[in-house]
């Protein structure tokens, strides 16, 4: 059954611009659609945040802020971000559409890959992450689902939705975002997220490509998390005998449980991968896995999830709605392979305490959170009246009501609170709420007739973004002035929307032909028509006299604007060229051969219509003549 038929967005025009055509994929954080930008007439991908997350103002603000940051990552292996916006409950990113499949699709269909193929995929992934790391960002959710392989073979990293700044590395309370199969130990235990967590995830992905299976599995996510914390990733050669030791070393380095032992970022790991590849023989790179296994996915382990970290006991009843995590079994599953790196051993109490934190089974918190304290109820998306009622029922009152513009929240609904929802607060406390005034709507100003610089300044002053600039000839608008905008003047748009600008090139001017003229005469003729002249640095051999113009660009009779540049190429003069022997050829073939050699051709028919075969030529074949000379060819007589 085609589930896209049941999706309310399919077939809709989002934000007055993007026509949603089909649903591509559904993830833990958002749904991705194929869409058409009706303004630029191009296919793109729309990533639309799930409405439940869109109701969280802090999450939406981070989503927008991080989207703008990622948009600055101009790298051929990073999926480009074109636009960001919102319509009602739909908060979206407009991104580059990559026709092809994901690495997960490849692993599901083929199982283990040859080492050469695995490294061919890993290298561009590391190049993309390296660009992000050096720009100050961490991806935090690397997995095969986020590696796109285009039909043209290009590899691109997608879904920087969880990206964060490198210097924002630790969160000791709250929740952890990620995919359990690829989380680094420090992410699970401390919430740390620096470039080395991406390195760890890439090591897991490399293991999966080489073996066709994940290194750590379990019946529940809790078991997987336990193994990340307490078991080394086994060498891939243990699962696929015959794999080169250098590949084992790569996986071991990237997945070291101690982050200090890993390469410090993706650039460093990329260097190690390239060194390892150079040291491997062709037969090692092209080794065929003895038994390709199709990987069966559990679903939860491959989905980006909100994972509770150190939740209070009263929230434990809600934790399964955020990530279904069964209680820790009495005897955690043991790895099939002994650890390869020694670490300090954790005592049983420390292990149980760490797992209780992961599972949200905090001890002794219920008493502290009861009695004189309460929690701020969820207010986001509620009307002002509903929010007041909820606060009153919790024994709280409204301290102050602020108003602000919002692209994500309907006018009159709560978009933020201080303290935020879920915060512990004393009974009879007060809360400040911020109510949405709806999107900040801006009227597109009339900038026709203004210069491009003036138009851009005016659009920015009004709260709009100058967009794509196109230039076209116009007889009535001065060159350099604005002809029109899209949207047109008077149209209402959300703040920061892009406005395309069309600028006049003035009346078109026919380019005069100057080939064969001297450089000075050609320059004068072109400058008289208002053109600028540039002389090409290299001269060419041609039939034109030495020092005269051999080529011009644009060509004669082309249309250009006043002030445009015409490039002239000067001739070295004709050079001696060997004349081809065309005796015995047809007129057509002989003419073609001579012209290709650089000669003009004259045909002398001895008896018209009686013969088409060349009997003689004015310069014999094998002799030389100057380029541009005329060679006369004569047909046979009776």
Least confident of 102-111, 123-132, 604-613: 604-613
Cβ atoms of 293 and 209 within 8 Å: the answer is no
- In the predicted model, is pLDDT for residue 290 greater than 60? yes
Q: What is the SS3 string spanning 510-558? A: ECCCCCCCEHHHHHHHHHHCCCEEEECCCCECCCCCCCEEEEEECCCCC
**Is residue 164 very low, low, confident or very high in pLDDT (cuts 50, 70, 90)?**
low
The domain locations on the chain are 1-97, 100-287+304-370, 373-436, 441-504, 509-570, 576-635
Bridge partners of 375, per DSSP, are 424
In this prediction, residues 90-117 reach a mean pLDDT of 90
In this prediction, residues 400-416 reach a mean pLDDT of 83
Q: Which residue has the higher pLDDT, 63 or 489?
A: 489
Architecture of the domain spanning 576-635: 2-Layer Sandwich (3.30)
For residue 66, the model assigns a pLDDT of 65
For residue 566, the model assigns a pLDDT of 94
Query: What topology does CATH give the domain 373-436?
Result: Trypsin Inhibitor V; Chain A (3.30.10)
Angle, vertex CA 220, rays to CA 217 and CA 225, nearest 5: 65
In this prediction, residues 470-492 reach a mean pLDDT of 92
Distance spanning both ends of the chain, measured CA to CA: 81
For residue 324, the model assigns a pLDDT of 31
For residue 336, the model assigns a pLDDT of 36
CB atoms within 10 A of CB 27: 19
Is 441-504 in the same CATH topology as 100-287+304-370? Answer: no
Assigned CATH class of 509-570: alpha beta
The fourth-level CATH superfamily of domain 100-287+304-370 is Transferase(Phosphotransferase) domain 1 (1.10.510.10)
pLDDT, the chain, mean: 80
- Relative orientation angle of helices 195-211 and 115-134, to the nearest 10 degrees: 170
Model pLDDT for residues 562-583, shown as the tens digit of each residue: 888 999 999 998 888 899 999 9
Query: What topology does CATH give the domain 441-504?
Result: Trypsin Inhibitor V; Chain A (3.30.10)
For residue 395, the model assigns a pLDDT of 87
CB-based contacts of 314, cutoff 8 Å, min separation 6 = 365, 366, 369
Q: Report how far residue 255's alpha carbon sits from residue 262's, in angstroms, rounded to the nearest whole number.
A: 7
Model pLDDT for residues 8-36, shown as the tens digit of each residue: 889 899 988 999 999 988 877 788 999 99
- Hey, which of 201-215, 291-305, 570-584 has the most confident mean pLDDT? 201-215
Model pLDDT for residues 311-349, shown as the tens digit of each residue: 333 333 233 223 333 333 433 333 334 334 433 333 433
Cβ atoms of 113 and 41 within 8 Å: the answer is no
Angle, vertex CA 513, rays to CA 507 and CA 518, nearest 5: 125
Assign residue 108 a region: left if phi > 0, alpha if psi is -120 to 50, beta otherwise? alpha
For residue 412, the model assigns a pLDDT of 86
Q: Report how far residue 409's alpha carbon sits from residue 57's, in angstroms, rounded to the nearest whole number.
A: 9
For residue 578, the model assigns a pLDDT of 92
Looking at the whole model, is its pTM more than 0.75? no
Model pLDDT for residues 140-157, shown as the tens digit of each residue: 889 999 999 988 788 999
- In the predicted model, is pLDDT for residue 73 greater than 60? yes
Model pLDDT for residues 498-508, shown as the tens digit of each residue: 899 999 999 99
User: Which sequence positions are flagged as catalytic?
Assistant: 141
Bridge partners of 577, per DSSP, are 625
Q: Report how far residue 593's alpha carbon sits from residue 580's, in angstroms, rounded to the nearest whole number.
A: 7
Bridge partners of 86, per DSSP, are 91
**Is residue 372 very low, low, confident or very high in pLDDT (cuts 50, 70, 90)?**
low
**Is residue 74 very low, low, confident or very high in pLDDT (cuts 50, 70, 90)?**
confident
For residue 580, the model assigns a pLDDT of 95
**Is residue 427 very low, low, confident or very high in pLDDT (cuts 50, 70, 90)?**
confident
Q: What are the tokens at 455?
A: 């138009």
The fourth-level CATH superfamily of domain 1-97 is Phosphorylase Kinase; domain 1 (3.30.200.20)
Q: Outline where 369-467 has alpha helix (H).
A: 384-393, 452-461
Residue whose C-alpha is closest to residue 530's, from 563, 565, 568, 559: 563
């Amino acid at each position: 059954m085609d589930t896209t038929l049941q999706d309310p967005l399919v077939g809709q025009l989002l934000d007055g611009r993007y026509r949603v055509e089909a649903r591509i994929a559904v993830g833990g954080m958002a749904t991705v659609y194929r869409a058409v930008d009706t303004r630029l007439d191009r296919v793109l991908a729309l990533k639309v945040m799930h409405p439940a997350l869109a109701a969280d103002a802090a999450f939406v603000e981070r989503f927008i802020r991080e989207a703008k940051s990622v948009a600055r990552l101009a790298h051929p292996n990073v999926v480009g971000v074109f636009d960001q916006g919102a319509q009602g409950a739909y908060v979206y990113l407009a991104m580059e559409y990559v026709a092809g499949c994901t690495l997960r699709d490849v692993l599901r269909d083929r199982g283990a890959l040859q080492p050469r193929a695995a490294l061919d995929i890993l290298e561009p992934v590391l190049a993309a992450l390296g660009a992000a790391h050096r720009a100050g960002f961490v991806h935090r959710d690397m997995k095969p689902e986020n590696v796109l392989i285009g039909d043209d073979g290009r590899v691109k990293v997608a879904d920087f939705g969880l990206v964060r700044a490198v210097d924002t590395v630790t969160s000791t309370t709250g929740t952890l975002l990620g995919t359990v199969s690829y989380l680094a130990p420090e992410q699970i235990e401390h919430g740390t997220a620096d470039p080395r967590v991406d390195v760890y995830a890439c090591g897991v992905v490399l293991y999966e490509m080489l073996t066709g299976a994940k290194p750590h599995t379990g019946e529940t996510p809790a078991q997987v998390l336990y193994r990340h914390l307490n078991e080394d990733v086994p060498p891939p050669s243990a699962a696929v005998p015959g794999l080169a030791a250098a590949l084992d070393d790569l996986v071991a380095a990237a997945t070291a449980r101690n982050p200090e032992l890993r390469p410090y970022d993706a650039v460093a790991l990329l260097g190690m991968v390239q060194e390892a590849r150079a040291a491997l023989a062709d037969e090692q790179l092209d080794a065929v896995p003895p038994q390709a296994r199709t990987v069966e996915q559990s679903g939860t382990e491959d989905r980006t999830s909100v994972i509770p970290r150190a939740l209070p006991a009263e929230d434990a009843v809600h934790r399964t709605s955020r990530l279904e995590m069964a209680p820790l079994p009495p005897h955690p599953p043991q790895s099939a392979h002994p650890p390869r790196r020694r670490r300090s051993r954790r005592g049983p109490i420390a292990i149980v305490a760490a797992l209780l934190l992961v599972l949200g089974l905090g001890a002794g918190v219920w008493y502290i959170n009861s009695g004189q304290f309460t929690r701020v109820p969820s207010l986001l998306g509620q009307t002002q009246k509903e929010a007041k009622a909820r606060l009153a029922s919790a024994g709280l009152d409204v301290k102050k009501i602020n108003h602000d513009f919002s692209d994500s929240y309907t006018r009159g609904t709560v978009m933020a609170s201080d303290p935020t929802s879920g915060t512990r607060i004393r009974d009879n406390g007060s809360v400040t709420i911020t109510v949405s005034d709806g999107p900040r709507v801006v009227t597109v100003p009339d900038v026709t007739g203004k210069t491009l610089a003036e138009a851009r300044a005016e659009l920015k002053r009004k709260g709009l973004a100058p967009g794509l600039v196109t230039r076209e000839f116009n007889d009535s608008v001065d060159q350099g002035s604005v002809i029109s905008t899209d949207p047109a003047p008077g149209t209402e748009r959300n703040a920061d929307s892009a406005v395309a600008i069309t600028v006049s090139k003035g009346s078109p001017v026919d380019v005069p032909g100057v080939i064969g003229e001297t450089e000075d005469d050609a320059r004068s003729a072109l400058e008289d028509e208002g053109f600028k002249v540039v002389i090409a640095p290299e001269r060419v051999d041609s039939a034109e006299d030495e020092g005269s113009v051999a080529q011009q660009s644009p060509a004669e009779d082309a249309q250009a604007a006043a002030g445009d540049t015409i490039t002239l190429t000067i001739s070295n003069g004709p050079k001696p060229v060997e004349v081809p022997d065309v005796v015995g050829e047809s007129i057509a073939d002989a003419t073609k051969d001579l012209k290709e050699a650089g000669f003009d051709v004259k045909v002398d028919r001895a008896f018209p219509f009686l013969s088409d075969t060349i009997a003689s030529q004015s310069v014999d074949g094998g002799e030389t003549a100057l380029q541009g000379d005329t060679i006369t060819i004569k047909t046979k007589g009776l």
